[in-house]
């Protein structure tokens, strides 16, 4: 089985721009979660989608949004980028809601905001 894939792997954007990141889960997985990883804050939860519905959302401003499509692929969007948004963005998929199922992570998208 192919693992979780994320595109693009690297992005450089300018302050004020917006960006869209994509995540394709493992085949058959219906839950996708997004995390932001920075050296200072570590890994922080952004949101979780299951069957196209947002189940849970972390403590991030409304500039961060996401969606999930009927094929379970997910996108996250960050509008009006700030320097502090520079981070590794990771998505994880699981067979069901993350309560009981192992989460499998993709390689991440490295976003640099200049």
Partner 1 sequence: KQEVTQIPAALSVPEGENLVLNCSFTDSAIYNLQWFRQDPGKGLTSLLLIQSSQREQTSGRLNASLDKSSGRSTLYIAASQPGDSATYLCAAYGGSQGNLIFGKGTKLSVKP
Taking the C-alpha atoms of residue 95 and residue 108, their distance in angstroms, rounded to an integer, is 19
Taking the C-alpha atoms of residue 37 and residue 99, their distance in angstroms, rounded to an integer, is 21
Which range of residues in 18-26, 38-46, 61-69, 78-86 is near partner 1 by CB under 8 A?
38-46
Is the Cβ of residue 72 or residue 94 nearer to partner 1 in the bound state?
94
Taking the C-alpha atoms of residue 35 and residue 87, their distance in angstroms, rounded to an integer, is 10
Site for partner 1 in 60-99 (CB under 8 A): 90, 92, 98-99
Is the Cβ of residue 59 or residue 70 nearer to partner 1 in the bound state?
59
């Amino acid at each position: 089985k192919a693992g979780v894939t994320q595109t693009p792997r690297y992005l450089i954007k300018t302050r004020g721009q917006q960006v869209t990141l994509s995540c394709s889960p493992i085949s058959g997985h219906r839950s996708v979660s997004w995390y932001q990883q920075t050296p200072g804050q570590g890994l922080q939860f952004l949101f979780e989608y299951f069957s196209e519905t947002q189940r849970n959302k972390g403590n991030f401003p409304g500039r961060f949004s996401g969606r999930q499509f009927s094929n379970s692929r997910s996108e996250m969007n960050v509008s009006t980028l700030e320097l502090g948004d520079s981070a590794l963005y990771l998505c994880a998929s699981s067979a069901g809601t993350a309560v009981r199922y192992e989460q499998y992570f993709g390689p991440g998208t490295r976003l640099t905001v200049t």
